[in-house]
Structure 1
Amino acid sequence: MMATKVWLISHAANAALRAGVLSAGISGADEPVESLDARAVEAMDAWRARWHAPILASARGAARVLTSPAEIAQASATAAGFEAVVAPALAETAYGEWAGRRLIDIARGTPDALAAWTRDPAFRPPGGGESFDDVRARVGAWLDALPQIDEAIVAFTHASVIRAAVLHALGAPSATFRQLEIAPLSVTALRRTAQGWVWMAALT
């Protein structure tokens, strides 16, 4: 069986992420503040020096590069030295009425709803938001639909998407989603085998 390998890269942290502002998600709107500020550019330079060559070497020099529709993900892919194609399935969670708001403000206004969101993978933010289960279904369908060929895919996306991909690969309960910490610019690798998807330790 041909091996499909997927490198999932969590996008750089911009000012919005550092301020705890929820992304506009799959709505198509841009981030509420600049995409890559000076701190993000510096972090991307270090990431590129560390990861660009090893990932391409693992892919034998050729990889299909994809990105979330979000501006921050596209900017991260460009800064990492890749030309990427937008893949809607890699979009950030849709946060409904919470999109563009700070978590601290949501906690002050609707603490019970925010608490439910942090515990219950089936909870949907008000105003048409996605639950973690929704994101997992979207991402799992994308993974399973990838062609079974000897190919490497590099995907610049979001922490929620990477959590969903890892739990899908492991067949782990969605209730464990908050036990996975995905840091900005972290690298997660998955590989398809005859038994399904497996998680791989990142290069050291």
Structure 2
Amino acid sequence: MPTTVWLVSHAANAALRSGTFPRAPVAGDDAEEALEARALAALAAWRERWHARLTGDECDGEALRAFTSPAAIARASAYAAGFAGATQSDALADTAFGEWQGKRLAQLAREAPEALAAWTRDPAFRPPGDGESFDDVRARVGAWLDALPDTGHDVIAFTHASVMRAAILHALAAPSSSFRSIEIAPLSVTALRRTQHGWVWLAAID
């Protein structure tokens, strides 16, 4: 059976709801503290809907390999979703936002409107202070996907919207400028399958 990669966007947190650029992960971040009550409820519902499906016979049971972004919210989401042993991978990390981390979109709209507008339009734009462009994210995510061993065992990865957009466009060999046309909701699922012609994007049926 060909390998299928199930990408899951992490649960919503305060930063996401307030439009705040996330900070880079710090060693020792407490993953459990990253989840609020509403996130825990959403993850409980996700687990009831998806866990048995992804770990059942269709996915070869325990052969399913689990990965997570280093971010506390992604690690906590993986744990609450039933994947406590997920392996952290830097390739699945959120975009590095440089000097923008910890700032709100509304603040940047006042302080640096031209730069913020460029970030929303140009996949090559890098936030100041060693930030990553969407093209940078796409390069590392594509490399991670292509390096996965073709064992036939499925993979699940808890990650971020930017990573999922990058993975979809990599699979479709679509231009990076299309990133603006892909919306990823918290706890949404995207599936990619490896074929002899490369990756294909599958519609994940709820």
Paired with 2:177 and 2:137, the residues of 1 have a C-alpha distance of: 13
Select 1:173's aligned residue among 156, 171, 175. 175
- Cα 1:174–1:158 change in 2 (3 A) is same
Deviations 1:100-153 (A, max 9, x none): 111111111101000000000000000000000000000000001111111110
Question: How far off its partner does 1:60 sit?
Answer: 2.0
Asked if 1:108 is matched to 2:110, the reply is yes
Deviations 1:4-38 (A, max 9, x none): 1100000000111111111124676959xx51011
Paired with 1:27 and 1:119, the residues of 2 have a C-alpha distance of: 29
67-76 or 82-91: bigger deviation: 82-91
Question: How far off its partner does 1:3 sit?
Answer: 1.3
Asked if 1:68 is matched to 2:69, the reply is yes
Secondary structure, aligned partner of 1:151: coil
* Aligned position for 1:150: 152
Secondary structure, aligned partner of 2:184: coil
Paired with 1:162 and 1:9, the residues of 2 have a C-alpha distance of: 8
Q: Which TM-score applies when normalising by structure 1? A: 0.94
* Aligned position for 2:192: 190
Q: Which TM-score applies when normalising by structure 2? A: 0.94
Secondary structure, aligned partner of 2:154: strand
Question: How far off its partner does 1:156 sit?
Answer: 0.2
For the aligned residue pairs, the C-alpha RMSD in angstroms reads 1.5
Equivalent AA in structure 2 for residue 78 of structure 1: Y
Does the CA-based 8 Å contact 2:40-2:80 persist in structure 1?
yes
Asked if 1:54 is matched to 2:53, the reply is yes
156-165 or 56-65: bigger deviation: 56-65
Paired positions, count: 201
Equivalent AA in structure 1 for residue 73 of structure 2: I
Paired with 2:25 and 2:179, the residues of 1 have a C-alpha distance of: 20
Does the CA-based 8 Å contact 1:24-1:30 persist in structure 2?
no
Does the CA-based 8 Å contact 2:25-2:72 persist in structure 1?
no
Paired with 2:23 and 2:65, the residues of 1 have a C-alpha distance of: 26
Paired with 1:199 and 1:56, the residues of 2 have a C-alpha distance of: 20
* Aligned position for 2:166: 164
Does the CA-based 8 Å contact 1:19-1:102 persist in structure 2?
yes
Deviations 1:148-185 (A, max 9, x none): 11111000000000000000000000000010000000
Does the CA-based 8 Å contact 2:60-2:153 persist in structure 1?
no
Moved over 3 A (4+): 25-31
Secondary structure, aligned partner of 1:100: coil
Unmatched tracts of structure 2, length 5 or more: none
Paired with 1:113 and 1:195, the residues of 2 have a C-alpha distance of: 38
* Aligned position for 2:97: 95
Paired with 2:187 and 2:152, the residues of 1 have a C-alpha distance of: 25
Does the CA-based 8 Å contact 1:28-1:70 persist in structure 2?
no
- Cα 1:106–1:26 change in 2 (3 A) is same
